[in-house]
């Protein structure tokens, strides 16, 4: 098989509990197709010698509820290998929330995240009340 991308010579840590091991990772159509020694060519090859190759990490406790509006990639987290986050921790979130109670939500987030109300108002177009409406806004 010819792969679109082969990450070669990396130290694979796969999260299975197995010890780390040196391997190549072949990617085809955006998905991992093979992990092991790959002799054949690839459209692109990356030498991962001296680097760890691992699946993306899940951060189960974040405070990205407001940040996601002005930083949809979650840059700080994604730079460290996080590919999925859980939001709505610490007993409050941006939804569901009636417009009349938005100020209370801003105050809670201001305390927990140390982001000013003015910054949140500038970065968030608050036009939802229900959780499904909030998800629709996030999906943009």
Q: What pLDDT score does 4 carry?
A: 97
Other C-beta atoms lying within 10 Å of the C-beta of residue 38: 19
Any idea what the CATH number is for the domain that residue 45 is in? Answer: 2.30.40.10
How many Cβ atoms are within 10 Å of 134's Cβ, its own excluded? Answer: 20
Domain coverage including residue 37: 3-53
Mark whether 49 and 61 lie in a shared domain.
no
How many residues does this entry show for the chain? 140
pLDDT of residue 112: 81
The tally of domains found in the chain comes to 2
Examine the domain organization and report whether 127 and 84 are in the same domain. Answer: yes
Q: Residue 101: exposed, middle, or buried by beta-carbon count in 10 A (0-12, 13-18, 19+)?
A: exposed
Q: Are residues 116 and 65 in the same domain?
A: yes
Helix (H, G, I), strand (E, B) or coil at 135: helix
32 and 68 in a common domain: no
Rounded mean pLDDT for each run of 10 residues along the chain, 140 residues in total:
95 94 97 94 93 93 85 88 87 85 87 84 88 90
Q: Are residues 48 and 92 in the same domain?
A: no
76 and 130 together in one domain: yes
Question: CA 87 → CA 8, 17, 69, 107, 135, distances in Å?
Answer: 35, 27, 13, 17, 12
Q: Which pLDDT does position 22 carry in this prediction?
A: 98
Same domain? For 62 and 49 the reply is no
Question: Does residue 64 share a domain with residue 34?
Answer: no
> What is the model's pLDDT at position 113?
79
Shared domain for 46 and 82, answered yes or no, is no
The whole-angstrom separation of Cα 63 and Cα 66 is 8
Radius of gyration of the chain (CA): 20
Task: Please indicate, yes or no, whether residues 70 and 113 belong to a single structural domain of this protein.
Answer: yes
Q: What is the pLDDT of residue 88?
A: 82
Structure token pair of residue 123 = 């970065």
């Amino acid at each position: 098989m010819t792969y679109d991308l082969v990450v070669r010579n990396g130290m694979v840590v796969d999260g299975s509990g197995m010890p780390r091991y040196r391997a190549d990772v072949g990617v085809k159509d955006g998905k991992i197709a093979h992990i092991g020694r790959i002799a054949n060519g690839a459209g692109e090859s990356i030498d991962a010698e001296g680097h760890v190759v691992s699946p993306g990490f899940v951060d189960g406790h974040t405070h990205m509820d407001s940040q996601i509006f002005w930083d949809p990639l979650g840059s700080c987290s994604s730079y460290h290998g996080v590919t999925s986050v859980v939001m709505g921790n610490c007993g409050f979130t941006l939804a569901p929330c009636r417009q009349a109670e938005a100020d209370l939500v801003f105050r809670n987030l201001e305390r927990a995240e140390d982001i000013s109300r003015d910054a949140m108002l500038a970065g968030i177009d608050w036009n939802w009340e229900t959780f499904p409406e909030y998800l629709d806004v996030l999906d943009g």
